[in-house]
Chain A
Amino acid sequence: KAGVTQTPRYLIKTRGQQVTLSCSPISGHRSVSWYQQTPGQGLQFLFEYFSETQRNKGNFPGRFSGRQFSNSRSEMNVSTLELGDSALYLCASSSGLAGTYEQYFGPGTRLTVT
Chain B
Amino acid sequence: AQSVTQPDIHITVSEGASLELRCNYSYGATPYLFWYVQSPGQGLQLLLKYFSGDTLVQGIKGFEAEFKRSQSSFNLRKPSVHWSDAAEYFCAVGAMGVASKIIFGSGTRLSIRP
Contacts and interface: CB of A to CB of B under 8 A. Distances in A.
Contacts, number: 63
Nearest to B93: A99
Nearest to B101: A56
Interface stretch (B16-24, B37-45, B65-73, B75-83): B37-45
Given A90-B43, A103-B46, A107-B42, A97 B104 contact: no
B43 A105 contact: yes
A42 interface: yes
Interface residues of B, number: 26
Given A92-B44, A107-B42, A108-B43, A100 B101 contact: no
B34 A102 contact: yes
A25 interface: no
9 contacts: A45-B101, A48-B101, A56-B99, A56-B100, A97-B98, A99-B96, A100-B32, A103-B102, A105-B45
Interface of B: 32, 34, 36, 41-46, 49, 51, 90, 94-107
Interface of A: 4, 33, 35, 42-43, 45, 48, 55-56, 58, 90, 92, 97-100, 102-108
